Amino acid sequence: MNLLVEDNPARRRYEILVDDALAGFAGYEQRPGLVVFTHTQVDPSVSGQGVGSRLVREALDQTRARGDRVVARCPFVAAFIDRHPEYADLLATH
C-alpha cells in the first residue's frame, strides 16, 4: 500500500492518498501560528489499517516543521495526541 499525505490549503485539509486515490482527510482552520484541526475522515475501505494515524502523524509533523501550534477540536486528532505524547508540545495553551 503506497501512502502519501499532502496539505491542500485550498480545501483547508490534509489529504491522504492510498495508491493514488483519496482515502481520507483531516480538515483544519488556519490562524496565524495556529492550526485548528476540526474533523478527520477515513474511507471505510481502509479503516483499521493505520491510514488515519498516518494522516494525523504527518499532518502534525508538517505543522511542527512550520513552527505552528495545534488546537485539537477533532476527537480523532485529540486521541492521537493523547496516545503519542511526543506531540503534546504542539498543543496551544489558551
Q: Quick one: how far is CA 44 from the chain centroid?
A: 17
In the block, residue with C-alpha cell 499532502 = 6
Q: What is the pLDDT of residue 61?
A: 98
pLDDT of residue 94: 58
Dihedrals phi, psi of 61, to nearest 5 degrees: -60, -40
pLDDT given for residue 18 in this prediction: 95
73: domain CATH number? 3.40.630.30
Walk along the chain (94 residues) and give the pLDDT tens digit of each residue.
899 999 999 999 999 999 999 999 999 999 999 999 999 999 999 989 999 999 999 999 999 999 999 999 999 999 999 999 999 999 998 5
Domain containing residue 46: 3-90
* Domains identified in the chain, total number: 1
Q: pTM for this structure?
A: 0.94
Residues in CB range of 82: below 8 A, 6 or more apart? none
Percent of the residues in the chain that have a pLDDT greater than 70, as a whole number: 99
pLDDT digits (tens, 9 = 90+) for 16-40: 999 999 999 999 999 999 999 999 9
Interatomic CA distance for residues 85 and 45, integer angstroms: 28
